[in-house]
Amino acid sequence: MSSLTIRLATITDVPLILHFIRGLAEYERLPDAVVATEALLAEQLFGERPGAEVLIAEWDGAPAGFALFCHNFSTFLGRRGLWLEDLFVEPAHRGRGIGKALLARLAAIAVERDCGRLEWSVLDWNTDAIGFYRSLGAVAMDEWTTFRVTGADLAILARGVKEE
């Protein structure tokens, strides 16, 4: 009988985490967007001030998927929440309930930590994922628009001056 194990990642999992990140980028049609390195992930995930945590899913002892998450905060709820940054299951392991099990574990962590919510984003073209998330009781926050500042614009904003 096949078995699923979900565990917290350790620093020795950094190469595997980067492998999953690259697999997700391929799936999302963004392979050139990955600039993360093993050294950067080791520092950011397992250094002095870890910025996120990672769950690793294993099917019969083989790596099958991951979920990378961190805390956010809701001022309206007055409580922390969990933000799921990435969820990925290897194509060969899809259809076995691994994604649902990872989300269930995240929900359990949120409850254990007294979080007010679990949130994530999904690309609007990913109708399979949207349907899956809705089947779990997730509600789309269609009235919200995500904004992002990166690269040179982030540096400019940090200086407090927008160059025209």
- Residues labelled catalytic: 133
- Give the position of tokens 């614009």: 153
Q: What is the largest CA-CA distance in the chain?
A: 63
Count other C-beta atoms under 10 Å from residue 81's C-beta. 17
CA dihedral 61, 20, 91, 94 (to 10 degrees): 60
Contacts 24+ apart (CB under 8 A), 24-33: 24/86, 24/88, 27/88, 28/123, 28/126
Rounded CA-CA distance 74/52 in Å is: 17
Q: Which amino acid is at 164?
A: E
